Amino acid sequence: MGEQHRGIGMTSARTRERLVQRLAASGIRSAAVLERIRTVPRHLFIDEALSSRAYEDSALPIGQGQTISQPYIVALMTQALIENGADRRPEKVLEVGTGCGYQTAVLAPLVGQLFTIERISALQRAARQRLSQLGLGNIRYRHGDGCEGWPGQAPFDGIIVTAAPAEVPPVLLDQLAPDGRLVIPVGPTGSQELLRFTRRGEEIERELLSRVSFVPLLEGKS
Ligand code: SAH
């Protein structure tokens, strides 16, 4: 490795560590999640022109009018999905909105199997290629409309949605296993809440996690 590359690597190790410290100070408690934020090379998920900003705690454009989520929100959603009283990790998890695949990469090693759906085929292809290069093997991809969930694989121990519908799609609640959790931003642009729903028998428990700003969940595929 040339001096130049080594230099970039060192800078990015330092800036990554700063990001991890910042997320820990903002209330991310899960050591497993913080370790993923430290390990996943976020700069590989964005355009090279923006790589100097890869370890800032902000959302960035990824083309097609879409964004890579803010690291704090990725960490918060991942923690909300995997933390539970039991020591069992979620076995089957569905992600709606693969986008560039960053959230997918953070989450995949923390669950048994990850099923991820993206409606824009160009994004889906790029994400799939990136994630297999990173050696993440427990992921299944689908180009389609995540509003329908993934009926052939349901029920899921966890569902994470990275685009915001106006209302929670009932189909996704229906695809939750007992004690399964749905982490989802809900509401119109400018006024969204990040919610966690947990299936408790016939009841669904609802918790407010944060106020957030996501791109809208759209129907159909393109
Ligand atoms: N998870 C990404 C953020 C993706 S932005 C990250 O880690 O940064 C939200 C993504 O959801 C976009 O790529 C958008 O195309 C996708 N999306 C929106 N509606 C969808 C739907 N109904 N089904 C599947 N994907 C959808």
For 59, the token pair is 């959302």
For 29, the token pair is 């408690």
CA of 5 to the centre of ligand 1 (A): 32
Domains, the chain, in order of start with CATH, read 60-212 (3.40.50.150)
pLDDT tens, residue by residue, 98-139: 999 999 999 999 999 999 999 999 999 999 999 999 999 999
Nearest CA to ligand 1 atom 14: 97
Nearest CA to ligand 1 atom 13: 99
The pLDDT value given to residue 38: 96
The pLDDT value given to residue 86: 55
Question: What are 92's strand-pairing partners?
Answer: 113
Kindly give the confidence (pLDDT) of every residue in the chain, 222 residues in length, as a single tens digit, with 9 standing for 90 and above. 443 444 455 457 889 999 999 999 999 999 999 999 999 999 999 998 998 899 999 999 999 999 999 999 999 999 999 986 556 789 999 999 999 999 999 999 999 999 999 999 999 999 999 999 999 999 999 999 999 999 999 999 999 999 999 999 999 999 999 999 999 999 999 999 999 999 999 999 999 999 999 999 999 988
Which positions ≥6 away from 41 have C-beta within 8 Å?
Answer: 12, 134
In degrees to the nearest 10, what's the CA dihedral of 66, 68, 73, 75? 140
Closest by Cα among 94, 28, 79 to 57: 28
- DSSP annotation string for 65-86: TEEEPPHHHHHHHHHHHH--SS
User: Cis ω on the peptide bond leading into residue 90 (within 30° of 0)?
Assistant: no
Do the strands 60-63 and 92-96 form a parallel or antiparallel pair, or are they unpaired? unpaired
What number does the ligand 1 atom closest to the CA of 120 have?
15
Query: CA-to-CA distance for 205 and 196, rounded, in angstroms?
Result: 8
Query: What is the CB < 6 Å shell around ligand 1?
Result: 66-69, 74, 96-97, 99-100, 102-103, 117-120, 123, 145-147, 162-163, 215, 217-219
CA of 23 to the centre of ligand 1 (A): 23
The pLDDT value given to residue 66: 94
- The structure's pTM equals 0.94
